[in-house]
Amino acid sequence: MELLPLEIMAEVCSFSDFGSLKKIRLVSTAFAQIAPRYLFEEIYVTLIPEYLDKLTEVAIHPTLRFHVRTLFFDYDILNEEFAEYDVWKAEVDSGGPISIGGGPGAEVNAPADLDCSHQNFCRLLSSQKALFDGRMDLEFLIAAFALLPNLRDIYSMAMQSSTTPYYSIRRRKNGMDPVLSALQRDTLLPKPFVDTSVSTQTGLSRPLASLLSGLGLTRKQIYSIVVADIAWSFWKQDGPSGFQHVGQELIDAAFQQLKNMYVILVVDAYDLEVRLQGMLPLSISTFIGAAKRLQWLTLEFGCYAKDEDGAGFDNNIATRSPRAGQLFAKLTLPCLVTLHFGNCILTEEILIGFMKRHSTTLKYLHLVEVDLDNQSMESTSWAETLKQIAPILALETVNLLALRSDDIENVIVADTNGEACNSRVDAYCKGLTRFLRNRGQTGCPRILDFAAPTG
């Protein structure tokens, strides 16, 4: 018998609860052995109570718990920002056509979809209100983590937070979202919204505290974590999610064996302290720096304007990259081997200091769309900066793409021919890549050699 694809197995599972799996009669013993591994290897977790109960069922199951290797958490468990619920509800209750997205490709949801989404919205809102005002917490997650002996990866996953609930429904119905497990099938919302009126007190930071406590009890088996598109207020000192209120011992215990971290930081384009002055919250450095055994770090920035209704960030309103120098000013990762870094402005002095601190371990360096800045008013140059660090680095792989500095802007980008300009920037970056890979033993490319031809 040919084994069914993962998608079909997940679809089958969606029509039954976990308890009934033992009653299903499987013709193929091979399928019986492999199905649990595929169905429970990845589990999606959101705040609807019955979904959390199912995770607990898996954690205490005598055999299924050994198959769980990856957990996907809706990152908005830790997000206190929310849309205008009254406006959203009035729009649904109006009975008029509701469009998805915008432009000529906009679609309209069926009333049944809206009714189902409305019900789930209310349930999620109620659950998170209970969570943040102390009537419910995530303590059971601590026990669940400890009972999953093969758990390796935990991902914080965005569910289309920059779009509308209706758009998320359409995406899932068209099969564009990954099939994670049966736990995801009924989650129609892009984002569980939290009422900030019940989450502004320091003592109500239990969601994050419980999550980190659970990570710390996994018997040193968490190797990878993805933190994508976390709301900016989560990192701020006054953020009610309370990252800065979590004890350092919890973070250290959670990250003691962490080796791989992927972080995407979303910056409000109009937050001038961050975007123009680089005043990043210290909690970000604390979060990354707690992973003392981290070997692979991918760090990217997104700088967007708020969308029209203020509910999220509009990916179509991109602006200039934010300054990120303060993040690296004192950050030291003694085991760092691979660094992927991009979409920001980095101070020359801080970059040189960071590279010197990691010169003995760093082997793979990827810099993409990084603008160079300095603390003085002097013109910046990637060539001059790399001359200071090339001799001390022993890199095996180097990728420098779409870099920016004053000399690149003045000599290459000044050309009005956009296509030719981009090709010359690419060629210059390739020359810098070879120079850095060869530890400065080959000639450093001259910026004037890549200027637009005159005449």
pLDDT, tens only, 112-149 = 545 555 555 555 555 555 554 544 444 555 556 667 77
- Answer whether residue 448 shows pLDDT above 60: yes
Mean pLDDT, all residues of the chain: 63
More confident of the two residues 96 and 412: 412
More confident of the two residues 225 and 443: 443
Q: Taken in order 418, 420, 423, 425, is the CA torsion positive or negative?
A: negative
pLDDT of residue 368: 93
**Helix ranges restricted to H, 133-247:** 139-146, 165-173, 206-216
More confident of the two residues 350 and 31: 350
Write out the H or E segment, with its range, that includes residue 315: strand 313-318
Q: How confident is the model at residue 390 (pLDDT cuts 50, 70, 90)?
A: very high
pLDDT tens readout for residues 331-347: 999 999 999 988 888 88
* CA nearest neighbour of 75 among 263, 220, 334, 257: 263
Strands 313-318 and 296-306, bridge-based pairing: antiparallel
Each domain of the chain, given as residue ranges in start order, spans 1-99+107-219, 259-455
pLDDT tens readout for residues 270-296: 565 565 666 677 777 888 888 889 999
Region 376-384: what's the mean pLDDT?
A: 84
Lowest mean pLDDT across 54-68, 80-94, 103-117, 168-182: 168-182
* CA nearest neighbour of 212 among 110, 112, 77: 77
Region 262-274: what's the mean pLDDT?
A: 68
- Answer whether residue 100 shows pLDDT above 60: no
Q: What is the dihedral of CA 429, 432, 433, 438, to 10 degrees?
A: 170
Report the distance separating Cα 65 and Cα 144, nearest Å.
9
Q: How confident is the model at residue 320 (pLDDT cuts 50, 70, 90)?
A: low
pLDDT of residue 431: 93
Q: How confident is the model at residue 89 (pLDDT cuts 50, 70, 90)?
A: low
3-state secondary structure of 359: coil
pLDDT of residue 278: 60
Q: How far is CA 133 from the centre of its chain?
A: 27
pLDDT tens readout for residues 301-313: 876 655 444 434 4
Which backbone phi and psi does 46 adopt, to 5 degrees?
Answer: -130, -175
Prediction pTM value: 0.58
Q: Taken in order 171, 175, 177, 181, is the CA torsion positive or negative?
A: positive
